[in-house]
Structure 1
Amino acid sequence: MVLAVVIQIGATFLPQLGLGEPIGDRSDSVRTLITPSGWAFAIWGPLFVGSAIFAIWQALPKQSDNALLDSIAWPAAIALAAQGVWATYTQFANLTVISALIILVSLAGLLICLRALARHDRLSGEERWFAALVLSALAAWLTAASIVNVSASLVYHGILADGPYPLAAAIMVAVGGTIAALAVVRSRGNPWYALVFCWALLAIYWRGGQEASSIGWACILAGILVVLGMAVSLSKPDNRRHWIGI
């Protein structure tokens, strides 16, 4: 797991060593209506810190017989390492169909973790803050990032080269929001997933939503579905205790 996080974080520093192009530059070259505003990507700072803390915590000797970690170790390691592979590939190539497939592999691993976290009988305080919070936030951001990457790859390959296609982009946001809302409900109202996904929606609304009203309304609708799913699920005391301990 520690090695996976080293790959995850270390890959982003390659351009500083003169290798490849910064991910931001790649993103700008295939910008779409659902590419989030630049400030939203600052979330990678806390996500990287959280990933490092999670990796160190799970490696402690006292966690050697942790049943939760036994169920999520490989999916989490694959997901974190895949993010480093995605960053490496993107910096040398671009946001192509290959990069979209890589990011979907990472998302799949995180969603497996999310399912295990939701089904776990009782999260301890450490499991809640060092594993559930970090992996849920990553799963939410990768859900949004997958939608954006698919859109960008369509631009890169010329499928959306003749125009911004706001309606198609709005449909992608609406579908992604519906999937996210279902994930929130099925994960017992996971607040960390819901809040981070809404952060991504806000960033899409802030940019694409100002250029096309259909994008803006899709973001609003998706946000309402996600927040509603969280609120209804967390109205149950068992779900609140599971995720936030109260």
Structure 2
Amino acid sequence: MSTTAVTDAATATRPVAADRVRQVAVVVGAVLAVIGAFIGSGAAGGTPIQKAAGGALSADATMLSPAGPAFSIWSVIYLGLLGYAIWQALPSQAAKTRQRRIGYWMLASLLLNAAWILSVQFGMLALSAVLIAALLVVLIVAFVLLQRIPGGTTADAILFDGTTGLYLGWVMVATVANVTSLLVAAGFDGFGWSPHAWGMALVVVAAILGAALAIWDRGRLAPAIASAWGLAWIGVSRLTGTLESAPVAITAIAAAVVLLMIAVAVRVSGRGRSAADLG
């Protein structure tokens, strides 16, 4: 594709009424997601996520549960989502092809995010697993579309690509952890495997998914950093929590390091991206 074609793909024509509706809907979705986050933190009267659903998502509930500090990444993600929502609402962004193609996918992710928090608050662990899996699919679609429609601006790189990358990378690990919590809560016995073996196997699965994404997206840093962050905190949780497992901890921390190394290696190779392209 020529440079002119790329520029034309990122910059559309005049705004229409549907563009304004989309912009407002995304802003509303971002507000709902932030409200859900306050409820999920316990700051607005709700039960903190780690204590909700009978503690099924607490740091010591399963071998795949990250330590509490891991969830601080949500502060960065929500800040990025709010920044994205405000930026996409600017008149200059209304008719951009990127916004038109991906805006409603981002809105869906915001609504699924809020719905996931509510499902956990009401103790509906099975529904939470379905919702986070749906969120993962939506974010994959949004991420793929972002790769196909280059942005070319710093705002695109940080607020769109970067935020979506962090969001996707974290949700990849969170989905594996959420499904594991559901299986444990349902009494899954592991077909005779020990919890340690299952923990190691699932960590490897999460790492393989992250590595595959890093290779496919030519070493984008945001998804790899977020996934590695989640894996590392799983390792910390297995070393410092009441549910200790040295094998899972070593596997998780090693997986985080290897994932970052793969992303950096792909990035600096001939197929990699420029240093300014963090998404």
Indicate whether the TM-score tops 0.5. Answer: yes
Give a deviation string over 1:128-149, Cα, whole Å, max 9, x none.
0111111100101111110110
Instruction: Kindly name which structure, 1 or 2, has the bigger radius of gyration based on alpha carbons.
Output: 2
Q: Which has the higher helix share?
A: 1
The residue number in structure 1 matching 2:95 is 65
Q: 2:168 aligns with which of 128, 139, 148?
A: 139
TM-score (norm. length: structure 1)? 0.89
The residue number in structure 2 matching 1:11 is 36
Q: RCO higher in 1 or 2 (8 Å CA, sep ≥ 6)?
A: 1
Q: For residue 148 of structure 1, what is the amino acid of its counterpart? A: A
Structure 1 residues not aligned, in runs of 5+: none
Q: Does 1:173 align with 2:173?
A: no
Whether contact under 8 Å (2:36, 2:118) holds in the other structure is: yes
In structure 2, how many angstroms separate the alpha carbons of the residues matched to 1:159 and 1:24?
Answer: 21
Q: For residue 48 of structure 1, what is the amino acid of its counterpart? A: Y
The residue number in structure 2 matching 1:80 is 110
Change over 3 Å in CA distance of 1:242–1:64 after alignment to 2: farther
Q: 1:43 aligns with which of 48, 69, 73?
A: 73
Change over 3 Å in CA distance of 1:241–1:70 after alignment to 2: farther
TM-score (norm. length: structure 2)? 0.79
Give a deviation string over 1:160-214, Cα, whole Å, max 9, x none.
5999711112111100110111011111111011111111111001012562232
How many aligned positions are there? 243
Q: Does 1:24 align with 2:50?
A: yes
Calculate the aligned-residue CA RMSD, in Å. Answer: 2.4
Change over 3 Å in CA distance of 1:143–1:25 after alignment to 2: same
Give a deviation string over 1:91-111, Cα, whole Å, max 9, x none.
1114x2211110111111111
Give SS of 2:95's match: coil
Task: Work out the percentage of aligned pairs sharing the same amino acid.
Answer: 23
Whether contact under 8 Å (1:34, 1:169) holds in the other structure is: yes
The residue number in structure 2 matching 1:2 is 27
Give SS of 1:25's match: coil
In structure 2, how many angstroms separate the alpha carbons of the residues matched to 1:217 and 1:232?
Answer: 22
The offset of 1:34, in angstroms, is 1.4
* The 10-residue stretch of structure 1 (113-122 or 51-60) with the greater mean CA deviation from structure 2: 113-122
What are the equivalent positions in structure 2 for 1:100-115 lying under 5 Å apart?
100-115=129-144
Give SS of 1:24's match: coil
In structure 1, how many angstroms separate the alpha carbons of the residues matched to 2:99 and 2:269?
Answer: 26
In structure 1, how many angstroms separate the alpha carbons of the residues matched to 2:158 and 2:270?
Answer: 19
Whether contact under 8 Å (1:174, 1:221) holds in the other structure is: no
In structure 1, how many angstroms separate the alpha carbons of the residues matched to 2:113 and 2:276?
Answer: 25
The offset of 1:120, in angstroms, is 2.8
Q: Does 1:185 align with 2:223?
A: no
